[in-house]
Amino acid sequence: MTDASPLHHDPLYTDAALVAFYDAENEGGADVAFCTELARGVGSVLDLGCGTGAFLVGLEAPRRAGVDPAAAMLDIARARPGGAAVQWVEADARLLDLGQRFDLVVMTGHAFQVFLTEDDRHAALATIARHLAPGGRFVFDSRNPACREWEEWQPHNSRRGVAHPRHGEVEAWNGAVHDPATGIVTYETVYRLPDGRELTATSRIAFPPRDELARLIAGAGLVVERWLGDWNGGPLADDAPEFIPIGRLA
């Protein structure tokens, strides 16, 4: 296991100036809608890699916990309306032990891909198993490497406008390089402010193949009940954009 979560050193999640863009770039989405349905009627939810906490504060579950290694993200989560009703924990998901079990454990937003080695991924899955209640369910997502999504993360086709709460309209773009030996993609995110200043961050994520995920899930004492290929409920196929396992304790 590596010594620290990659997010501990990634200003995209730790620098408040960059974190201010997070919600504008990640608002809502099919994953939030899907997991909100999964959470309907359950008593407890654990969100690993909860980010700024928008998913959890929108739920009605009596017991909710959000875990993230980035303090700047959790600062926003705590300040949200309804944030005081959630237990927010600054921690590395590979090492977490809350001494609690939950009816639903989620890890969305491709947070699973920040774990760069097989050992790290095993540790994260063991954390899911350690916190999952008997009869409870887990779900997470990881991009299908066969789709080579990183090829789209280039300056010429990723330029976009992002509304910032203080700076107004900001120009943004990405650049990415894939290492075929490790499956790790290193990508840069750039925000150019109206005054010409640029805020940048370099991030690294892995694209593990499905057979590895299946093996590690089983090794963590978990069982997949069904695999989805996207958050709209599409079937898993060779060209599906996502690997989304939904399962329970073995």
Lowest mean pLDDT among 13-17, 43-47, 126-130: 13-17
3 state SS of 100: coil
Q: Dihedral sign, CA of 162, 163, 164, 170? A: positive
The helix-helix angle for 118-131 and 210-219 (nearest 10°) equals 50
What pLDDT, in 10s, does the model give residues 82-124? 999 999 999 999 999 999 999 999 999 999 999 999 999 999 9
User: How far is it, in rounded angstroms, from Cα 88 to Cα 104?
Assistant: 16
**175 closest CA partner among 215, 202, 137:** 202
- The alpha-helical segments, DSSP class H, found in the chain are 11-14, 16-19, 22-25, 30-38, 54-57, 71-79, 118-131, 155-158, 210-219
pLDDT category of residue 14 using cuts at 50, 70 and 90: confident
State the pLDDT at residue 16. 78
Query: Average pLDDT of the chain?
Result: 93
